[in-house]
């Protein structure tokens, strides 16, 4: 399995932008970069994904390095509800074994 | 759509007892995953199925764990006999045949005392 590396934890002030990094130096050409988040006492939920180009949706933005060996999830204005564990994973489709690991625990400070 | 449905939500059992966790995937999804989450190891993949067939069970910790998927709308994860170290949150997830999103259930919180 291609692996990802994320910081164990990060802090952000409320209303400030947050940049969550992810390294994936062994990414293959068919791997999509996915981000999920897990709110307390809930299952992980999909946030965003991309292949090569930067992506935006109502929840976040995803910035992908030109060599695709790293990416950054951007929350433009952190709210207390964004406090969660964020997972960066590589995923090529339903046939592939998908591992999530530890993720980054984001703390939002009021 | 009701999403991935898991039961029970919470279970407390005594060491040595059999535990059965249940999952109903989203209709039309042909991949089903069982994950275990602990503080120390994070979210680990135990086993996944495609079209009701187990594809990779290399994450199943030992013979005490078994999983079945008798049809497209139901799967079970069984632990027999249970041990305190099995205490964790167990998540079931499913995905579409060619989709990009994995949908998780709310989890089954297991405590073995």
CA nearest neighbour of B29 among B98, B107, B105, B108: B98
Contact B33/A98, CB-based, under 8 Å?
yes
Q: Report the pLDDT averaged over residues A14-34.
A: 92
Instruction: Give yes or no for B93 touching A (CB within 8 A).
Output: yes
Mean per-residue pLDDT of chain A: 91
B75, two tokens: 């799967």
Contact A87/B56, CB-based, under 8 Å?
no
Q: Report the pLDDT averaged over residues A12-40.
A: 93
- Chain B: residue nearest A100 by CA? B43
Q: Is A18 exposed, middle or buried (0-12, 13-18, 19+ CB in 10 A)?
A: buried
> Which of B23, B100, B103, B107 should be substituted to probe chain A, the one whose Cβ sees the most A Cβ atoms within 10 Å?
B100
**pLDDT at residue B66, as a whole number:** 97
Where is pLDDT greater, at A47 or A30? A47
State in Å, rounded, how far the first CA of chain A is from the last one: 38
**pLDDT at residue A94, as a whole number:** 55
Instruction: Give yes or no for A110 touching B (CB within 8 A).
Output: no
Instruction: Enumerate residue ranges in chain B where pLDDT < 70.
Output: 1, 97-100
Chain B residues in contact with A94 (beta carbon < 8 A): 30-31, 50, 95-99
CA nearest neighbour of B106 among B44, B39, B40, B21: B21
Instruction: Give yes or no for A93 touching B (CB within 8 A).
Output: yes
Interface size A-B, in CB pairs within 8 Å, comes to 60
B28, two tokens: 């039309």
Give pLDDT tens digits for A37-65: 999 989 999 999 999 999 999 989 999 99
Instruction: Give yes or no for B53 touching A (CB within 8 A).
Output: no
**pLDDT at residue B2, as a whole number:** 81
**pLDDT at residue A99, as a whole number:** 78
Chain A residues in contact with B106 (beta carbon < 8 A): 42-43
């Amino acid at each position: 399995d291609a692996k990802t590396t994320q910081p164990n934890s990060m802090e952000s002030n409320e209303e400030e932008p947050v940049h969550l990094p992810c390294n994936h130096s062994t990414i293959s050409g068919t791997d999509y970069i996915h981000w999920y988040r897990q709110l307390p006492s809930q299952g992980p939920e999909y946030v965003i994904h991309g292949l090569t180009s930067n992506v935006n949706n109502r929840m976040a933005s995803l910035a992908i390095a030109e060599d695709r060996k790293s990416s950054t999830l951007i929350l433009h204005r952190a709210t207390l509800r964004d406090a969660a564990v964020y997972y960066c994973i590589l995923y090529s489709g339903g046939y592939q074994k998908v591992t999530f690991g530890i993720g980054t625990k984001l703390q939002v400070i009021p | 759509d009701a999403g991935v449905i898991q039961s029970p939500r919470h279970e407390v059992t005594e060491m040595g007892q059999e535990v059965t966790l249940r999952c109903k995937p989203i209709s039309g999804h042909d991949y089903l995953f069982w994950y275990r989450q602990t503080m120390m190891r994070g979210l680990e993949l135990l086993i996944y199925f495609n079209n009701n067939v187990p594809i990779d069970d290399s994450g199943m910790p030992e013979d005490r764990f078994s999983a079945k998927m008798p049809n497209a709308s139901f799967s079970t994860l069984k632990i027999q006999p249970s041990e305190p170290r099995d205490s964790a949150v167990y998540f079931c997830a499913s995905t579409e045949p060619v989709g990009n999103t994995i949908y998780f259930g709310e989890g089954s919180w297991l405590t073995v005392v």
